[in-house]
Homo-oligomer: A and B are copies of this chain.
């Protein structure tokens, strides 16, 4: 089942977890995570298991800007990091990049009861590199914001060619309008999904100019402000949602990109906050403070929403990327702690060869001055993380027997055993501390064998594994679960099975 869910892909490159929300607050139901192959997985927080992987999505290449949910988990949003000619499989030379390559923004529909994801709709975008997104909340609910770089539509060495212009863009998308347009049948089917072209359906997408090479765009808890940070600057820009709406109403535009209006920067910004060099991402506290990671300065800046005053900085070791404050991207941040997710840790750990851990640093933000309290080491290339209050998550530790509807489940050793129909052998196996029943069974060469293993424990932490040597079979069965393995008895001999857990 796991193999089928993974669809033959053996890597993912996960970047951004997104906890499900109700009213803009974590509700403890699901966790969505993206992978660069264009997929989103849903982890059920009832048992911490992946229940669905949707994708690879059509038309999206390089699914970095994902899996951001909207405030009531209506959608998990996705955008292209790498624009390509669409649908996938369309050939066009790199010299046609500016005109024939396209980005897309995808709204993945989420069933409010089951969490089941389905394709939804997409929006055709200019061939920029969409990096990160955040959904509007409260007053800005219904909107989605995306950073993009290489708005020059350059190719080759982007570090040089894509930094020619003064500004890149944050895309502001009225996703409720997009949803309505899709429901009305607008858009063209490309790669099996309805794709809305903003040139043909105006009023859905606008571009907000921002500092060069923006990474994060982060909406404040009350939804009034949108904070966008350009990596190549010393300031972070705070946009005012009301001013954005006014500029849209007044058509206060300075141009367009493929028919998408570009809003006038001066008309929509409230402030340029002098946070320091290389601002990337911003998280929020419960008291009107914002925390911005500074890649170049290798620090976190604490500043006040409204007064735009920078009140404190704490150094990070080294080159911080993302940061995460307790519920710091919701409508009700928790404060107390944040964690800096650093890209380099050299000198802070024992040498373990070329592949090195990076450092996460825990910062106490309960006082006016931030205080570094702990270093922990993590897997390389840390990206985003979220901190949720423990009491919002109440996982089960045992699957109740009455929930097990597996047709091959057996709950008593007297029902366990092997049955044969032609060359098909079905083994119903009971596992319980510390015995597997049957303890052995005989097969004929060439038999097609299915073993259904029921872990009849109803005690926490009593998982049992089933490993079959020389057949490359090993699975774990949780308390109350039944799982099956199948194989062909291709080899003569005696092959032990044992509990691997």
Contacts and interface: CB of A to CB of B under 8 A. Distances in A.
Nearest to A351: B395
B434 A353 contact: no
A240 interface: no
A251 interface: no
Interface string A171-202: 00000000000000000000000000000000
Given A91-B494, A492-B91, A493-B89, A354 B62 contact: no
Given A11-B467, A37-B469, A440-B155, A82 B353 contact: no
Interface string A389-427: 010011111110000000000000000000000000000
Interface residues of A, number: 79
A157 interface: yes
B397 A356 contact: yes
Contacts of A51: none
A153 to B, nearest CB: 14
B381 A501 contact: yes
Nearest to A480: B354
B84 A496 contact: yes
Interface string A264-298: 00000000000000000000000000000000000
Interface string A333-374: 000000000001110001111111000000000000000000
A111 interface: no
Contacts of A356: 397, 460-461
A463 interface: yes
Interface in A144-176: 155-159
A79 to B, nearest CB: 14
Nearest to A46: B353
B157 A346 contact: no
A88 B380 CA distance: 42
Given A11-B472, A155-B439, A472-B10, A493 B354 contact: no
B440 A56 contact: no
A168 B37 CA distance: 55
Given A49-B353, A89-B491, A472-B11, A156 B380 contact: no
Nearest to A493: B89
A48 B155 contact: no
Nearest to A352: B48
A494 B90 contact: yes
A350 B390 contact: yes
A33 to B, nearest CB: 16
B351 A501 contact: no
A61 interface: yes
Given A353-B397, A355-B478, A380 B37 contact: no
Contacts of A399: 354
B397 A354 contact: yes
A496 to B, nearest CB: 4
A474 interface: yes
A209 B240 CA distance: 81
A298 to B, nearest CB: 14
Nearest to A473: B11
Contacts of A394: 351
Contacts of A395: 351-354
A491 B48 CA distance: 36
A81 B344 CA distance: 43
B354 A494 contact: no
B11 A474 contact: yes
Nearest to A8: B472
A486 interface: no
30 contacts: A8-B472, A11-B467, A11-B472, A13-B500, A36-B469, A38-B469, A47-B354, A48-B353, A48-B354, A61-B469, A62-B469, A62-B496, A62-B498, A82-B496, A82-B498, A84-B494, A84-B495, A85-B493, A89-B492, A89-B493, A91-B493, A92-B494, A94-B440, A156-B439, A350-B393, A351-B397, A352-B395, A354-B395, A354-B397, A381-B501
Interface of A: 8-11, 13, 36-38, 46-49, 56, 61-62, 81-82, 84-85, 88-94, 101, 155-159, 344-346, 350-356, 380-381, 390, 393-399, 434-435, 437, 439-440, 442, 460-461, 463, 467, 469-470, 472, 474, 476, 478-479, 481, 491-496, 498, 500-501
Given A61-B495, A84-B495, A356-B397, 15 more contacts: A36-B467, A37-B469, A37-B470, A48-B352, A48-B355, A61-B494, A81-B498, A84-B493, A157-B435, A158-B435, A353-B396, A354-B481, A355-B463, A356-B461, A381-B501
